[in-house]
């Protein structure tokens, strides 16, 4: 592509500004000399870009460092409170809204119950009301707010802001475009497991790491794939629907219309079904099943063992397909680590000729229930910090 000279200059300037901001975001405070060295830029280029960033309020000068001779070098500091972002998480049962600073510190949090996701108008009104209240309470200027990121339960087209398909909820083709007008803010959307995978790669247990698969265990199973710091979504935005890979031919029917899908066996529903089929008592949720396991009830132990067999098969398939550095597990089940984790890892790494324990590390999410919503809040920040699209 051939660009006019002034546009080439602008693009380079913009790129250098982002690189400097990105470096300061990670290192917090550096002298201009250190920035120049670290990025291979000239001192005048650094000074000019830092001045621009100071005008925008994104960095500030913070004293001087000791000198080894000559003038003392000025320290430049990243300002995490220079901008804000909203994260919104829509699940089948509740909506949550957070306001964060650039370090993803949660400054405000609110939520509302969702009876039926189909009542989209109600959800839209609640989200707009809460965001409006937070903006007023914090007396924020809209210019300080980078935007609103949504984490959604289904296949999401982030370019057209469309929730394309959510089979567990029986909904399809819901547009989130109207939020941009109603809130007068940029809006971003992402699938909940992708958002969580993104948050884990930026903020979580594996932040310096390249390739990971995040597995979200809820009523269904969602997975997000990060390859070299990019979310991998594929041509039709539905890469990583591992929850719907078949692990049992002619198995149990799934909401997606197929049979034997992994999520039918390895989601929270899968554990509850396993307990029921083993002859267990009525259980409202997985916490109860784990309580019975803790009490030493043989039925619960048998149900968990069968459940972990299926859970492990799915993870093995993912390792065989993608050979990731890390598999990160998220969802309420991670609260019961002691009851299942060691056994799950043992089942995944049964002796085989392809992979051994240590080739891929299996970890539990550090961000817990906030993984998806923090990933949502990170979406608007991409425009500030990153040069390229973070989705491939």
Question: Applying CB under 5 A, which residues contact Zn ion?
Answer: 244, 254, 256, 258, 261
Closer to Zn ion by Cβ: residue 242 or 349:
242
Closer to Zn ion by Cβ: residue 169 or 261:
261
Look at residue 152 and give its three-state secondary structure: strand
Q: How far apart are CA 301 and CA 289, in angstroms?
A: 9
**Least distance from Zn ion to the Cβ atom of residue 309, Å:** 19
In this structure, the chain runs to a length of: 392
Closer to Zn ion by Cβ: residue 150 or 265:
265
**Least distance from Zn ion to the Cβ atom of residue 241, Å:** 8
Look at residue 228 and give its three-state secondary structure: coil
Phi/psi-derived region of residue 13, left when phi > 0, alpha when psi is between -120 and 50, beta in every other case: alpha
Q: How far apart are CA 148 and CA 90, in angstroms?
A: 13
**Least distance from Zn ion to the Cβ atom of residue 270, Å:** 12
Question: Residue 262 in contact with residue 245, Cβ under 8 Å?
Answer: yes
Q: How far lies 284's CA from each of 268, 289, 358, in Å?
A: 11, 9, 36
Provide DSSP, 23-72.
HHHHHSEEEHHHHHHHHT--HHHHHHHHHHHHHTTSEEEEEE---SSSSP
Q: How far lies 126's CA from each of 97, 120, 225, 261, 303, in Å?
A: 10, 10, 31, 34, 40
Closer to Zn ion by Cβ: residue 19 or 244:
244
Q: How far lies 161's CA from each of 1, 63, 149, in Å?
A: 28, 44, 10
Closer to Zn ion by Cβ: residue 205 or 256:
256
Closer to Zn ion by Cβ: residue 149 or 243:
243
**Least distance from Zn ion to the Cβ atom of residue 136, Å:** 43
């Amino acid at each position: 592509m051939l660009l006019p000279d002034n546009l080439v200059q602008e693009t380079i300037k913009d790129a250098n500004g982002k690189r400097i901001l990105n470096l300061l975001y990670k290192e917090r405070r550096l002298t201009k000399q250190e920035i120049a060295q670290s990025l291979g830029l000239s001192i005048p280029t650094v000074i000019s870009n830092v001045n621009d960033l100071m005008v925008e309020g994104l960095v500030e000068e913070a004293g001087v460092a000791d000198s080894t001779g000559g003038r003392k070098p000025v320290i430049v500091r990243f300002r995490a409170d220079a901008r804000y972002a909203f994260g919104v998480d829509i699940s089948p049962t509740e909506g949550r809204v957070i306001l964060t600073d650039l370090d993803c510190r949660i400054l405000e949090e609110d939520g509302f119950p969702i009876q039926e996701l189909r009542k989209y108008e109600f959800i839209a009104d609640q989200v707009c009301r809460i965001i409006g209240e937070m903006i007023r309470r914090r007396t924020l200027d809209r210019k300080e707010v980078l935007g609103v990121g949504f984490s959604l339960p289904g296949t999401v087209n982030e370019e057209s802001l469309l929730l394309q398909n959510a089979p567990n909820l029986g909904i399809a083709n819901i547009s989130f475009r109207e939020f941009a007008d109603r809130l007068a803010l940029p809006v971003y959307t992402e699938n909940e497991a992708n958002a969580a995978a993104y948050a884990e790669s930026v903020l979580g247990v594996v932040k310096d790491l390249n390739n990971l698969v995040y597995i979200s265990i809820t009523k269904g199973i969602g997975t997000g794939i990060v390859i070299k710091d990019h979310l991998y979504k594929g041509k039709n935005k539905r890469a990583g629907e591992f929850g719907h890979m078949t692990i049992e031919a002619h198995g149990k029917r799934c909401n997606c219309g197929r049979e034997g899908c992994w999520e039918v066996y390895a989601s929270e529903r899968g554990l509850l079904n396993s307990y029921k089929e083993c002859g267990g008592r009525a259980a409202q949720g997985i916490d109860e099943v784990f309580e019975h396991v803790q009490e030493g009830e043989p039925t619960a132990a048998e149900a968990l063992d069968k459940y972990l067999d299926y859970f492990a098969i799915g993870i093995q398939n993912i390792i065989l397909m993608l050979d990731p550095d890390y598999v990160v597990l998220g969802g309420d089940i991670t609260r019961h680590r002691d009851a299942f984790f060691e056994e799950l890892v043992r089942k995944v790494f049964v002796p085989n000729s392809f992979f051994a324990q240590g080739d891929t590390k299996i970890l539990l999410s550090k961000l817990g229930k906030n993984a998806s919503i923090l990933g949502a809040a990170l979406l608007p920040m991409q425009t500030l910090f990153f040069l390229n699209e973070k989705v491939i």
